[in-house]
Structure 1
Amino acid sequence: MSDQEPVPGFGVAVVREDGKWRCDPMDSSALGELDAAVGELRKIRSTGAVFGLLAIDDEFFLLLRPGPGGVSLLLSDAAAALDYDIAADALEALRVDPPEDEDEVWPEGSLDILADLGLPAPELQVIVDEIDLYPDEQLSMIAQRIGFDAEFSKVLDAVLK
């Protein structure tokens, strides 16, 4: 834990088990450090899919999905690593150097992170490319496309109050 100010935004842990979706808010510490976010997701016991959706400071989002072989990540804007520790952590985990110009916007990581759940890489690319949308709007599009938008909206309503 750091003594820094909390990072604005929210995190949602998403679980699919026995054909049903469940969404739970993540602790705010998950927004500041990648290890905290991954640790929180790894504590969830499920035989189904478990992944996290993080929206950081109305600037970018991060998808993370722990698995036996490590963590799959998708950072919606690589330039966010210039200003946010969690984005820098994500690029470090992906072994990618941060961009030199913060005006360049491109995703970094695994666009097929949710392909097995019904969101193929090309469709996720379209959502990521919607740079005029806020991260929560992009994450809502992901939730709608995969089929857990009702559960996601309930958590979003609770955390954004």
Structure 2
Amino acid sequence: MAVKEPIAGFAVAVVREDGRWRCNPLDPAALAELDAAITELRKIRSTGAVFGLLAVDDEFFVVVRPSPRGVSLLLSDAAAALDYDIAADVLDLLRVDPPDEDDDTVWPEGDLEILADLGLPAGELEVIVGEVDLYPDEQLQMIAQRCGFADEFTALLDEL
């Protein structure tokens, strides 16, 4: 069995409970396998919102939000599925075909309403995703800022 190279980036669990935010690191395996990210997020017990922010290899990000009804997902760049297993897994779960090899257009796939109940409407999230000149960590910082957990998010990233 071949040893997989670790994937650069970070995976963060974000929890809002009783009006307070907290951010915790997820296992690095969450960057390689969507199932690992979902499983780890489902283990977090909270009466409030729980979701994951995955920044993968300075290329794209994934928002993962498990719920009793299933899992909501947002992939910032569908074309990432051509090069990254986790992005392909997101498209599989969304039942979306990957883009053609020669298509270099960047577009998101998934639920742009994924964080609407936390203060980030779909239109604003679409603008953040569309900022293709930014790195994924910068885009996720904008999401954290808009939702209100930027301080907790930044503090965690400084520790990583």
TM-score bracket relative to the smaller structure: over 0.9
Query: Aligned partner of 2:158: which letter?
Result: D
TM-score by length of 1: 0.96
Cα distance, 1:77 vs. partner? 0.1
Percent identity between the two aligned chains: 74
Per-residue CA deviations over 1:86-116 (Å, capped at 9, x if unaligned) read: 0000000000000003411100000000000
Which structure 1 residue ranges, 4+ long, deviate > 4 Å from structure 2? none
TM-score by length of 2: 0.97
Gaps of 5+ in 2: none
Number of the residue aligned with 1:86: 86
SS of the residue 1:62 aligns to: strand
Distance 1:58 1:43 in 2: 27
Number of the residue aligned with 1:142: 143
Structure 2 residue 35 is the aligned partner of structure 1 residue 17: no
Gaps of 5+ in 1: none
Distance 1:112 1:131 in 2: 20
Distance 1:54 1:155 in 2: 13
- For the 8 Å contact 1:13–1:25, the answer to whether it is kept is yes
- For the 8 Å contact 1:17–1:48, the answer to whether it is kept is yes
Query: Aligned partner of 2:75: which letter?
Result: L
Aligned length: 158
Distance 2:129 2:24 in 1: 23
Number of the residue aligned with 1:125: 126
Query: Aligned partner of 1:130: which letter?
Result: E
Distance 1:38 1:116 in 2: 20
- For the 8 Å contact 1:82–1:102, the answer to whether it is kept is no
Distance 1:104 1:84 in 2: 16
Per-residue CA deviations over 1:102-158 (Å, capped at 9, x if unaligned) read: 411100000000000000000000000000000000000000001000000011111
SS of the residue 1:65 aligns to: strand
Distance 2:89 2:105 in 1: 19
- For the 8 Å contact 1:11–1:54, the answer to whether it is kept is yes
Distance 2:29 2:103 in 1: 25
Instruction: Give the alignment's Cα RMSD to 1 decimal.
Output: 0.9
Cα distance, 1:5 vs. partner? 1.1
Per-residue CA deviations over 1:49-73 (Å, capped at 9, x if unaligned) read: 0000000000000001000011000
SS of the residue 1:13 aligns to: strand
SS of the residue 1:16 aligns to: strand
Query: Aligned partner of 1:55: which letter?
Result: A
Mapping of residues 32-111 of structure 1, within 5 Å:
32-100=32-100, 101-111=102-112
